[in-house]
Amino acid sequence: MRALTLGAIGVVYGDIGTSVLYAVKEVFGSGHVPFTTDNVMGVLSIIFWTLTVIISLKYVTLVLRADNNGEGGLVAMLALASQSVRHKPRLRRVLLYVGIFGTCLFYGDGVITPAISVLSAVEGLEVVSPNFKKAVIPLTLLILFGLFAVQKRGTADIGKFFGPITLVWFACIAVLGVSHIFHNPEILWALSPHYALVFMWAEPLVTFIILGAVVLCVTGGEALYADMGHFGKKPIRLAWFLIVMPCLTLNYFGQGALLLSQPEAVTNPFFMMAPNWALLPLVGLATLATVIASQALITGAFSVTKQVIQLGYLPRFQVLHTSVRETGQIYMPFVNWGLFVLIVLAVMLFKSSSNLAAAYGIAVTLDMLITTVLTFFVSRYVWRYPLALCLAITSVFFVVDLAFFSSNMLKLIDGGWFPLLIAAGVFTLMLTWKDGRRLMNQKLATDAIDLTSFLEAVFVSPPTRVAGTAVFLTAAPGTVPNAMLHNLKHNKVLHEVNLFVTVVNHEVPWIGMDRRLNIEALGRDCWQVVVNYGFKNDPDLPRALQLMKGRGFELNPMSTSYFLSRDTIAPKLGGGMAHWREKLFAQMHLNASGAASFLKLPSNSVVELGSKIEI
């Protein structure tokens, strides 16, 4: 439990732990809040109760209960919610679209978060000396490049240091906070919600405006839920209540105490809390902390992308495993360098953490809103709570999330469009791929030949049968694979044993080995096999087919050939999608990673036969 709790501190809370670098600075630096004792107390109280309501109550207490076979995250919740309303197809379709768009927002957040975190840490050099200002952006880009360049080596070796380093970070920010609270202990009265309520009542418009900056204190809240499968609920809850929440509170209140005595510290209150001798070491530690926070998000991007691929919303990308022991430790080159290019673009476009703060918030608050909506359906249809209780549970969080989202919409022109544009682009790609696959499968189904009838016709006058086993991959069970038709046409032979294999991905995280295969004997050493995977399972077709041992057939890897159909998409006018979407789908299909590598087929045993499909 101690090891898991320490790991949760490093991986789960790295992002929210570095929000102290910029949250208070952006609230008071906006110029909307005059420096009075009551205003500082009111804002600190709002920050504390935002952490309490959104993180402590919503995510740690409620959302963590919504586990999908032990897994968390928006994809897992989406699968849980959509399955719970499968008897309501229209509602299920709407939930799928909403949930998938929420997943797309993760990529927008994933671009802004590393950029603003690392940039805000390196900006601490400006506090050391204004002469360092010109070096901030080049050094930020260099650190980010180094971070993305080492991803292919995996996190197994460096991951064990995340927890201790982040724990040191939390200890340091707590000590910094306590040192200033000691000089202005009256700041602790802001723990009372009274100060937040008085401020909101006196300044409703200002409160609404600054919520767009206050939300920065809950960056990384979604990580609590997303990483539940890695650490479990209890370690995540223990880490929050025992370490993270107290340390964050002490630091935020320490910054408030500093501003009470030195209003000019608003330019960078976090770093100005430190004595001069500690500034450079603090900048170094802050940079390490932000790199760790970014690492967790990059790893999350790999994991989410793999899950979305297996749900059928993205084409296959190259997946490299970086650990022989942990199947979850993967590296996806396309996702890695795609994120890096967009992050560089964000840094060069916005140039400072304050400007990036204007771009940050819309994506994360909309994600929070979507999580609340999906939580309602889970509590109503999965937990089967009474409707009144479900509304009572989620309506409060919905109103809070809506307030934060509405406030952040004020940032739309100033930079909020950037993560939304990324999310919209990814959403377009996902829907185009999903719709394109549906049209392609419809075309294949229209032209499909019934497998049983075809085999009966073939064995009336059977072709020459050659030694070995042929594995034919087919999109739908019970249909003749195109690869088999081409093999018979050109090679005029049939293997001694033939397996017709369909890989089916389900909307559940895990499917165990006991439910991996559905096998049907077709006679004459022919078998129909359905291989089942959850969206968190790691596809390995040869390993799965070994489970046929003792069930009427045993696969010999040395004499097995895998026949795949490599389809070429030909868009045509008047099809099922807009012509530009059909062209986009054709390009995505062309560039998709081959099924052979995705399913871990031995390269020297794969035969690909081409075919053309018009949609």
In a domain, 337, yes or no: yes
Residues 112 and 224 in one domain: yes
- Within a domain: 440: no
33 falls within a domain: yes
pLDDT of 327? 52
Q: Are residues 588 and 564 in the same domain?
A: yes
Q: Are residues 330 and 206 in the same domain?
A: yes
Amino acid 88: pLDDT: 87
Q: Give backbone dihedrals phi and psi of 612, rounded to 5 degrees, phi first.
A: -115, 135
* 443 in any annotated domain: no
E strands present in 507-601: 517-523, 526-534, 560-570
What is 272-294 written as a DSSP string?
HTS-GGGHHHHHHHHHHHHHHHH
Residues 580-603: tens digit of each pLDDT = 888 898 888 888 877 888 888 998
User: What stretches in the chain show pLDDT beneath 70?
Assistant: 30, 154-160, 322-329, 574-575
From 377, 409, 434, the end of a domain falls on 434
pTM above 0.75, yes or no: yes
193: in domain: yes
Residues 414 and 474 in one domain: no
Residues 287 and 213 in one domain: yes
Strand ranges (E), 253-369: 320-321, 330-331
One domain for residues 480 and 426: no
The CA R_g of the chain, rounded to the nearest whole Å, is 27
pLDDT at 160: 66
Query: Distance of alpha carbon 102 from its chain centroid, rounded?
Result: 10
Q: Please tell me whether residues 539 and 490 are part of one structural domain.
A: yes
**Shared domain check, 470 and 365:** no
b/e map 273-304, b = 16+ CB within 10 Å: bbeeeebeebbebbbbbbbbbbbbbbbbbbbb
Tell me how many domains the chain contains: 2
3-state helix, strand, coil in the chain (%, to 5): 70, 10, 20
pLDDT score, position 69: 75
Q: Determine, yes or no, domain membership for 441.
A: no
Same domain, 339 and 219: yes
Helix residue spans in 51-149 (DSSP H):
74-84, 89-122, 124-128, 136-149
Angle between helices 37-50 and 204-214 in degrees, nearest 10: 50
**Domain range for 576:** 448-614
* Same domain, yes or no: 315 and 166: yes
Q: What is the CATH number of the domain that holds 185?
A: 1.20.1740.10
Domain shared by 495 and 550, yes or no: yes
Q: Which of residues 377, 405, 434 is at a domain's end?
A: 434
Query: What does the pLDDT read at residue 34?
Result: 79
**The domain boundary residue, chosen from 383, 409, 434:** 434
Whether 439 is in a domain gets the answer: no
Residue 111 located in a structural domain = yes
Q: Following DSSP, what letter does each residue of 220-264 receive, concatenated?
A: THHHHHHTHHHH-HHHHHHHIIIIIHHHHHHHHHHHHHHHHH-GG
Alpha-carbon dihedral angle through residues 348, 349, 354, 357, given to the nearest 10 degrees: -120
Around 201, how many Cα atoms within 13 Å sit in the side-chain half-sphere? 7
Residue 465 sits in the same domain as residue 419: no
